[in-house]
Amino acid sequence: MPPTRPRRRIAAALKPVLNPVLPPVLMAVLAASLLAPPPVQAAAAPVNLALAGAATASSVELDRADFVAAHVNDGDTATRWSSKYQDDNWVQIKLAQPAAVDHVKLTWPNACARDFVLQTSTDGSSWTDAASVRRDTCPRTDVIEVRAGEPVSYVRMQGRQRWSSFGYSISEFEIWDAPPAPPAPTLGLLPKPVSVEETGGEPFTLHRNTRVLASGAGAQAPAGYLARALRPATGFGLPVVRNGRGPAPIVVEVGDGKGPRGHEAEGYTLAVTPRQVTLRAGTAAGALNGVQTLRQLLPQWIESDTPVATAWTIPAVTITDYPRFAHRGMMLDVARSFYPVSEVKTYIDAAAQFKVNRLHLHLTDDQGWRIAIDDPADNPSGIDYGLLTEVSGATAMTDRGTEPGITGYYTKADYTEIVRYAGQNGMTVVPEIDMPGHTNAALHSIPQLNTPGARPRLQPGQTTVPHNGTGAVGYSSFDADSPVTYEFVKHVLTEIAELTPGPYLHIGGDEAHVTSHADYTRMVDAFTREVAALGKTVVGWNEYAGTALPQDKAVVQFWNGNRQAVANAVNDRGAKAILSPAPHTYVPQKQDPRQPQGGTWACGGACGLDRHYNWDPGTYIPGIQESSVLGVESALWGEFIRRIGQAQYYSFPRLIATAEVGWTPQAQRDYTDFRTRLSEAGGRLTVQGTNFFPAADVSWRMKALAQPVTVAAGQPSGATWTVTAPGRAAADLEASVVWSDGQREDVTLTTTREGSIPDMRINAAFTATSLRAFDQAGTHTGTLSVRVPGEAPVEGRVTVTVR
């Protein structure tokens, strides 16, 4: 549940406006009546005036026909105008008839301008500077706000300085008469439900007296989760009641026969009418999935942790939904760099809203050991298990990343708390003890494990191998010939099994490059037998697919390499598969070439959002049925990534792609449609305080919201708007307010946290504050318009009551 979420910037921005005025509940009622969104106006489609114009230029490179000016307005970015190799060249377009111009878009394929002026003219001889532009990258696209209200007949790019020794090259010179139409509304549901019918008409609106009725024993937890998720932003009490006297507007019903037939385990139906919200499921897990959908149907401001005044509407819909796969996982490598319990909870909060339901904890590796193990009563080799965390809880990755890896470990109470919290969020914990390779941290802390067959070998004078904080892999191994290995592993697995209510124990098994095949098989077979004896289902990375897996009770997690071996384990031993193919699920791989940190080996370059979305787990392993695929898992390894902010920056939005790959039927998945829905989620994540990478191929939508204020006559109103604009800098945004008396006020947008790709952070919400004072008592309204050149503006209306 969200209770441990950090205080969010949005709340800080809204608070000073809220407090002096009215109690939040009254404010929200006021807002619901006064702040209804303005009606969307149908505008004529914007026109690229350049297409009907005539282009001329001051020069043409080598006087070649394929570089003439006419190529800049032919609608084809494959052709271009290029100038001679001089600084002061120009290209211009004479419009077919005089027209108002909103913005100009110049596409430079190479040989850009470093410094140019965009000019307009009514007669082609006297010119007005619309904008001076200096930019130091190439190739690039410039969108330049012109907003010439008066008609012009010519638009010219007048070069000042070239970017290289060549001239200027422009492949398209677009002249638009209006900003684009606002993007079509989308419910923005992620992952996409199996069936959504927008029934239209009036929405349902949450009120201060809304109650939540929990019907059926399994309904209490999801109904409570819903109420706790909605209380902070609404400021409403939202009591959860067991049986209703009088109609309860939100009903959560859980019981046999309530879920979608054949999909009872995790399915749900959700019906929203103006009078009632009805969520039905066969299980608490199914109802929790419906709760996460319901959250996304509310305005993004619902994610604020302090009260916000707005209309809390839920559109009228009928949804039937259930997952394609049972396992929709995320792995957190806490071994290379540690995450304290509070950060794990934050990571859970952010992922649970997308119906991620497995948390795989990579608890041990060469660089560190993160889980406390007690000494057993029967301890033949006299191992001090406390050394695992005392010694190797204090080590971590030392090279790569923005700082050394974080050290630390979970006590048993910590781990139990993670398991509990994950469970409350619908997630099962899958603990991993990685063996027989990736074991340098165990060997570094436990002398008895350092027998002659173990690797690395002890050097003279050593009792344990040294710590190794590098990113090297495949150099460590337990000793297959030593009884201590089996004694140690049996005890560790026994303790982990006792702490773990979920059905799975992961034994790693990857990259054991210094273990002979015979030794590998001998050890892994013993470890899998141990897991089976503990009543758990064994999971291992795909290298272990060829070992003697217990029949019908093993899971192979594919990451890289031999897919046929996975198919053999499935077909010969009844194993199930979890798919984490590196190019499609490994989030430490760079998601954009502009990221300084991150790997590139999996995709031969950046592994963008599209790679994480566009694959089919049902056909990924040739020769197996989809029914043998348990599901998918996003993997966050710890070589580069430090602390929760970076973990979120690498995971989001690619983890959302994986969540949809695991949930939505393949036939209903479409990358363009996904990006449209995702464009709505950026503001939601911003309000929540979840860090994410503002992927360049998503048109992240802006939103603006104001809080009503009451002021004395003659005093600055201090009216404040909050604007979410993922991936934008303050310098990208232009904002002004038009007041009900006709006055226009330019306002500045500020943010407490500027986005930065090298620093791995998204910008926080922006704040705009009005300095306008009113002499007349009464009610005044102001409409903020925020604009990015070349994009549709967004608006937010405020009400100022002057006493």
Residues taking part in catalysis: 511
Task: Write out the H or E segment, with its range, that includes residue 149.
Answer: strand 140-162
CB of 541 to ligand ACM, least distance (A): 5
How large is the C-alpha radius of gyration of the chain?
A: 30
Q: Binding of ligand ACM at residue 633 (CB under 6 A)?
A: no
Q: Is 75 left (phi over 0), alpha (psi -120 to 50) or beta?
A: left
CB atoms within 10 A of CB 523: 26
List the Cα angle 70/73/75 in 5-degree steps: 120
CB of 308 to ligand ACM, least distance (A): 42
Q: Could you say which DSSP state residue 369 is in?
A: B
User: Measured from the CB atom, is 142 or 511 closer to ligand ACM?
Assistant: 511
Give the Cα separation of 406 and 391 in Å (integer). Answer: 14
Q: Three-state SS for 245?
A: coil
CB of 427 to ligand ACM, least distance (A): 21
Residues in contact with ligand ACM, shown as a per-residue x/- string from 550 to 589 under the rule CB under 6 A: ---------x------------------------------
Q: Which of 253, 333, 495, 510 binds ligand ACM (CB under 6 A)?
A: 510
CB of 559 to ligand ACM, least distance (A): 4
User: Measured from the CB atom, is 359 or 391 closer to ligand ACM?
Assistant: 359
Q: In the beta sheet, which residues pair with residue 555?
A: 539, 576
CB of 543 to ligand ACM, least distance (A): 8
User: Measured from the CB atom, is 321 or 510 closer to ligand ACM?
Assistant: 510
Q: Binding of ligand ACM at residue 511 (CB under 6 A)?
A: yes
Strand order in the sheet with 749-751: 703-706, 720-724, 766-769, 749-751
User: Measured from the CB atom, is 517 or 803 closer to ligand ACM?
Assistant: 517
Give the Cα separation of 76 and 126 in Å (integer). Answer: 30
User: Measured from the CB atom, is 305 or 510 closer to ligand ACM?
Assistant: 510
Q: Nearest residue by C-beta to ligand ACM? A: 510
Which one-letter amino acid corresponds to residue 770? S
Q: Binding of ligand ACM at residue 81 (CB under 6 A)?
A: no
CB atoms within 10 A of CB 362: 24
Total binding residues for ligand ACM by CB under 6 A?
4
CB of 588 to ligand ACM, least distance (A): 10
The answer to whether the peptide bond before residue 436 is cis (omega within 30 degrees of 0) is yes
CB of 510 to ligand ACM, least distance (A): 4
Q: Is 257 left (phi over 0), alpha (psi -120 to 50) or beta?
A: left
Cβ distance 632 to 579 under 8 Å? Answer: yes
Give the Cα separation of 529 and 518 in Å (integer). Answer: 17
User: Measured from the CB atom, is 315 or 474 closer to ligand ACM?
Assistant: 474
Q: Which two tokens stand for residue 196?
A: 């959504």
Q: Three-state SS for 77?
A: coil
Could you tell me whether strands 140-162 and 113-121 are parallel, antiparallel, or unpaired per DSSP bridges?
antiparallel
DSSP E strands, 622-753: 629-636, 703-706, 709-711, 720-724, 734-739, 744-747, 749-751
CB of 348 to ligand ACM, least distance (A): 22
DSSP E strands, 322-462: 327-333, 358-362, 428-435
User: Measured from the CB atom, is 580 or 722 closer to ligand ACM?
Assistant: 580
Cβ distance 326 to 266 under 8 Å? Answer: yes
Residues in contact with ligand ACM, shown as a per-residue x/- string from 310 to 349 under the rule CB under 6 A: ----------------------------------------
CB of 698 to ligand ACM, least distance (A): 27
Give the Cα separation of 718 and 13 in Å (integer). Answer: 12
Cβ distance 210 to 237 under 8 Å? Answer: no
User: Measured from the CB atom, is 68 or 602 closer to ligand ACM?
Assistant: 602
User: Measured from the CB atom, is 328 or 362 closer to ligand ACM?
Assistant: 362
Which one-letter amino acid corresponds to residue 17? V
Residues in contact with ligand ACM, shown as a per-residue x/- string from 467 to 506 under the rule CB under 6 A: ----------------------------------------
Cβ distance 428 to 502 under 8 Å? Answer: yes
Residues numbered 514-553 forming contacts with ligand ACM, rule: CB under 6 A: 541
Residues in contact with ligand ACM, shown as a per-residue x/- string from 118 to 157 under the rule CB under 6 A: ----------------------------------------
Q: Which two tokens stand for residue 470?
A: 């590098």
Q: Between 671-688 and 654-663, two packed helices, what is the crossing angle to 10 degrees?
A: 130
Which one-letter amino acid corresponds to residue 547? T
CB of 201 to ligand ACM, least distance (A): 51
CB atoms within 10 A of CB 134: 10
Which residues here bind ligand ACM, judged by CB under 6 A? 510-511, 541, 559
